[in-house]
């Protein structure tokens, strides 16, 4: 790996399989089978994922026990979801309150056994000298702003993967768009939209909250993970106000710290490549990409995106 000359610092494929199993077992905040009921309905073939045809008349989520959302990591995660502009090319105005929400989320996830195990692993591999250094880097790599537009600081890894924008139909547009019009002042976000299609947006909590409000329309799934419990994985087709997502992979029922931790592990260990993991005895891969146009610190890269490979 860049910057590490000793073979003992290398993160091997075997290391990734071992530590990912440890993180999987440490996800104590994940949903129980009684907490979520999903209705996947139609499974699309590879030739059908681009059809933009709604083959599932019912919502994906039949039931979610929203008591989950009162747990500290869930509650602090949900508070972050409305902190972003919805139009690309618009400078993010990060308020003091939003910075506190970022810090609070990082504080809460670092209390969990899962994130403590992740830090211990990375510390042993000489990636970080202290937990304080690790948290500071998490804040930069996930929440640091860069430009996906015309030079404005308008995006971040966290926004793209977990939250994003609800409307990118033009400069200056605000509010939620529904039935061809904007609803002023609304703060509902989705993934980013590029060339009429949704990109990013890989989080089950976000999907559930927007589907519940009638903003997301589930079409079908093309991939269903091997698990009979949570977290599970689905590859989804869905639309949002006319914008289509051909394949949107997502963990279902995992805690915020589980996704945050796995994506972080893979971004550090295998940036820009498939990262092969083992979860509950099953193989799974995560793809991350670095943002290459700008850096922070001593040439470190921001997260551009991270998602489960659902094929």
- Residue pair 56/27 in contact (Cβ under 8 Å)? The answer is no
How far, in whole angstroms, is CA 180 from its chain's centroid?
Answer: 28
Q: Is 259 helix (H, G, I), strand (E, B) or coil?
A: helix
How much is the pLDDT for 98? 86
Cα(97)–Cα(156) distance, rounded to whole angstroms?
17
- Mean of the per-residue pLDDT values of the chain: 83
How far, in whole angstroms, is CA 153 from its chain's centroid?
Answer: 20
Would you place residue 198 in the very low, low, confident or very high pLDDT band (cuts 50, 70, 90)? Answer: low
How much is the pLDDT for 200? 63
Q: Is the pLDDT of residue 30 over 60?
A: yes
* Category of 179 on φ-ψ map: left (φ > 0), alpha (ψ -120 to 50) or beta: left
pLDDT tens string 101-133: 999 999 999 999 999 999 999 999 999 999 999
Indicate the domain borders of the chain.
13-42+72-167+190-309
What residues have CB less than 8 Å from 242, skipping those under 6 apart? 196
Q: What is the DSSP letter of 169?
A: S
How much is the pLDDT for 87? 44
Would you place residue 202 in the very low, low, confident or very high pLDDT band (cuts 50, 70, 90)? Answer: confident
Q: Is the pLDDT of residue 53 over 50?
A: yes
How much is the pLDDT for 195? 52
Q: How far apart are the first and last CA of the chain?
A: 27
pLDDT tens string 241-289: 778 878 888 999 999 999 999 999 999 999 999 999 999 999 999 999 9
What residues have CB less than 8 Å from 221, skipping those under 6 apart? 40, 41, 42, 43, 44, 234, 235, 236, 237
Q: Is the pLDDT of residue 185 over 90?
A: no
Q: How many residues does the chain have?
A: 311
How much is the pLDDT for 157? 81
* Torsion angle of C-alpha atoms 242, 243, 244, 248, degrees rounded to 10: -130
Catalytically active residues, by annotation = 160, 202, 245
Q: Is the pLDDT of residue 176 over 50?
A: no
């Amino acid at each position: 790996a860049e910057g590490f000359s000793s073979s003992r610092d290398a993160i091997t494929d075997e290391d990734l399989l071992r530590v990912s199993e440890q993180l999987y077992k440490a996800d104590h905040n994940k949903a129980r089978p009684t907490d979520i009921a999903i209705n996947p309905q139609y499974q699309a073939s590879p030739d059908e994922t681009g059809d933009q045809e709604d083959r599932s008349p019912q919502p994906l989520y039949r039931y979610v026990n929203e008591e989950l959302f009162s747990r500290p990591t869930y509650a602090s995660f949900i508070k972050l979801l409305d902190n972003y502009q919805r139009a690309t090319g618009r400078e993010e105005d990060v308020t003091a309150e939003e910075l506190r929400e970022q810090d609070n989320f990082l504080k809460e996830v670092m209390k969990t056994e899962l994130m403590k195990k992740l830090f211990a692993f990375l510390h042993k591999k000489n990636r970080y000298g202290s937990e304080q250094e690790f948290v500071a880097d998490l804040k930069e790599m996930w929440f640091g702003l860069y430009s996906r537009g015309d030079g404005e600081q308008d995006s971040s890894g966290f926004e793209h993967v977990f939250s994003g924008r609800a409307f990118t139909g033009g400069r200056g547009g605000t509010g939620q768009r529904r039935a061809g019009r904007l609803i002023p002042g609304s703060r509902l976000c989705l993934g980013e939209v590029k060339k009429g299609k949704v990109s990013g947006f890989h989080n089950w909590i976000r999907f559930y909250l927007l589907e519940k409000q009638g903003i997301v329309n589930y079409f079908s799934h093309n991939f269903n993970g091997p698990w009979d419990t949570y977290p599970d994985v689905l590859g989804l087709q869905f639309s949002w106000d006319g914008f289509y997502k051909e394949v949107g992979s997502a963990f279902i029922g995992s805690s915020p710290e589980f996704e945050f931790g796995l994506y972080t592990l893979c971004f550090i260990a295998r940036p820009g490549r498939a990262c092969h993991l083992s979860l509950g005895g099953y193989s799974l891969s995560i793809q991350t990409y670095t943002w290459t146009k700008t850096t922070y610190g001593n040439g470190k890269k921001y997260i551009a995106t991270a998602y489960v490979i659902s094929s």
